[in-house]
Amino acid sequence: MTHAEHEVADLCVELIRADTSNYGDGSGPGEREAAEIVMARLAEVGVEAHYSESADRRANVVTRIEGTDPSLPALLVHGHLDVVPANAADWTVDPFAGEVRDGYIWGRGAVDMKDMDAMMLAVLRQMVTEGRRPRRDLVFAWVADEEAGGEYGAKYLTKAHPELFEGVTEAISEVGGYSLEVDPGLRLYLIETAQKGLAWMRLIADGRAGHGSMLNSDNAVTELAKAVARIGSHEWPLTYTPTVRTFLTEIADAFGLPFDESDPSNLLDKIGPLVRFVGATLQHTTNPTQLSSGYKANVIPGRAEAVIDGRFLPGHEEEFFKTVDSLLGDKVRRESIHHDIALETTFDGALVEAMIAALKAEDPTARAVPYCMSGGTDNKTFFADLDVRGFGFVPLRLPKDMDFAAMFHGVDERVPVEALRFGVRVLDRLLLNY
């Protein structure tokens, strides 16, 4: 067993034990404890790193390993150190004990994403200890606050310390690279190449306030309710982005099934619980999530408001908002509460080839498939701020029956130790050879 394979589980356990719960309101412990572990483990092998806190205890660590060929652009490998909170009462184990049981490491962050944080650390330590150098510069970043939008992490770093990412054109990070076993001779590895965009919108209707007993043809509540119902029940058409089309074509081919564009449910059935990641990537969605208006049964309020959680497909943002506006009607307007870009990159080029080659070298049955995520990761920030082309690639060879999607933010989150060892083998190959 290599050095990285040997220590990756211990590093993951150590990081899980540092509670970095992110409540999104600044009340949590922050990432400092985990960042100090990363700093110490880097220092042990003589690697200096840039440590910065964007606010008290909101810690980020970035380091660069110089490649042998300065003409090549740099690759960013990033992982977030924060985790979503865990309610210990729901769990079989203490979510912050980092228990190893039945070949799995249990704990909050085991797959999201202290697994990758540990894999990055193990591979880097091994590379440095053995005196091997990558071809291109590698920038490793362990960042704060991904779970609350990255203000204290990726967004802070790209604004305050852009020089750390000098020359970076591509990135790899979370929610991709895991396996879906079709049969013993074929494992698909889902590499994330696209992410839906996000549009949280406030709808506002202004009408004529008045007494509840009188005639009122300009009732804000009525107008708002009609718009909310139109938007919430709108049937968005199936729309295939290049990534989703390729994904479904690959699934069809792997399982020997037809791909009927008018109804691909036969293919979605085949990917089992992973449908949680991709089920909503075949169309836009607009879910009403909040409603507010009025203060008394017999008073017609002058204003009514609602919130819509909208998610749009990459390449179709304009058409999404055009349709939303047509559904609003004349009496309701919208404001943006929060907006985030959609992402899509092509599944080609030297980095994709290198990921495929590294997977195949460690798992001859591997076949890499691009997919689109319905949520988002820090890749959006690095793309928006630094024009970095990002992929979801945390290589994990998973047991066939594992409900991997349920692990993310889930109760009893856990990761197989063997999957981590597989992951460091793949990452080591990728990072050294690319």
* 379 touches 173 (CB < 8 A): yes
Of 174 and 344, CB closest to Zn ion: 174
Which residue has 């089920």 as its token pair?
Answer: 279
140, two tokens: 């490793």
Which residue has 């412990």 as its token pair?
Answer: 29
Q: Could you give the CA distance from residue 353 to residue 348 in angstroms, rounded to a whole number?
A: 7
From the CB of 97, what's the least distance to Zn ion, in Å?
21
- Interface segment toward Zn ion; rule CB under 5 A; list 17-25, 173-181, 197-205, 318-326: 173-181
From the CB of 174, what's the least distance to Zn ion, in Å?
5
* 342 touches 313 (CB < 8 A): yes
Of 80 and 284, CB closest to Zn ion: 80
- Interface segment toward Zn ion; rule CB under 5 A; list 3-11, 88-96, 171-179, 191-199: 171-179
From the CB of 110, what's the least distance to Zn ion, in Å?
11
Strand pairing partners for 343? 195
- Interface segment toward Zn ion; rule CB under 5 A; list 71-79, 170-178, 215-223, 227-235: 170-178
From the CB of 263, what's the least distance to Zn ion, in Å?
32
- x/- letters, 99..138, toward Zn ion (CB under 5 A): -------------xx-------------------------
* Ordered strands of the 332-340 beta sheet: 285-293, 303-312, 197-206, 332-340
- Interface segment toward Zn ion; rule CB under 5 A; list 41-49, 169-177, 196-204, 331-339: 169-177
- How far CA 342 is from CA of 168, 218, 237, 283, 364, in Å, comes to 20, 37, 18, 13, 33
| C-alpha R_g of the chain | 23
Q: Who contacts 67 (Cβ-Cβ below 8 Å, separation ≥6)? A: 74, 133, 134, 135, 136, 137, 138
| 413 interacts with Zn ion by CB under 5 A | no
From the CB of 250, what's the least distance to Zn ion, in Å?
24
Task: Kindly identify the residues of this chain, within the stretch 210-249, that bind Zn ion according to CB under 5 A.
Answer: none
267, two tokens: 């293919």
The span from the first CA to the last CA of the chain, in angstroms, equals: 23
Summarize the chain as % helix, strand, coil (round to 5). Answer: 35, 25, 40
Q: Could you give the CA distance from residue 255 to residue 75 in angstroms, rounded to a whole number?
A: 34
Of 14 and 82, CB closest to Zn ion: 82
- How far CA 281 is from CA of 14, 170, 175, in Å, comes to 35, 23, 15
Number of H helices, E strands in the chain: 12, 19
User: By CB under 5 A, how many residues form the interface with Zn ion?
Assistant: 3
CA proximity to 62, closest of 154, 188, 129: 154
Of 134 and 392, CB closest to Zn ion: 392
Q: Where are the alpha helices (DSSP H) in 190-241?
A: 220-232
Of 137 and 378, CB closest to Zn ion: 378
Of 20 and 345, CB closest to Zn ion: 20
Of 137 and 192, CB closest to Zn ion: 192
From the CB of 7, what's the least distance to Zn ion, in Å?
22
CA proximity to 394, closest of 12, 6, 168, 119: 119
From the CB of 111, what's the least distance to Zn ion, in Å?
8
- Interface segment toward Zn ion; rule CB under 5 A; list 60-68, 86-94, 168-176, 380-388: 168-176
Of 86 and 113, CB closest to Zn ion: 113
Of 148 and 257, CB closest to Zn ion: 148
From the CB of 219, what's the least distance to Zn ion, in Å?
44
Of 115 and 223, CB closest to Zn ion: 115
- Interface segment toward Zn ion; rule CB under 5 A; list 60-68, 98-106, 174-182, 349-357: 174-182
Task: Kindly identify the residues of this chain, within the stretch 36-55, that bind Zn ion according to CB under 5 A.
Answer: none
Q: Could you give the CA distance from residue 369 to residue 180 in angstroms, rounded to a whole number?
A: 10
From the CB of 223, what's the least distance to Zn ion, in Å?
39
CA proximity to 385, closest of 151, 197, 176, 175: 151
Of 145 and 174, CB closest to Zn ion: 174
CA proximity to 59, closest of 173, 129, 142: 142
From the CB of 274, what's the least distance to Zn ion, in Å?
16
DSSP 242: H
Residue nearest to Zn ion (CB): 112
CA proximity to 338, closest of 309, 315, 358, 378: 309
From the CB of 43, what's the least distance to Zn ion, in Å?
26
Of 4 and 373, CB closest to Zn ion: 373
From the CB of 378, what's the least distance to Zn ion, in Å?
8
* 98 touches 14 (CB < 8 A): yes
Residues at the site binding Zn ion, with contacts judged by CB under 5 A = 112-113, 174
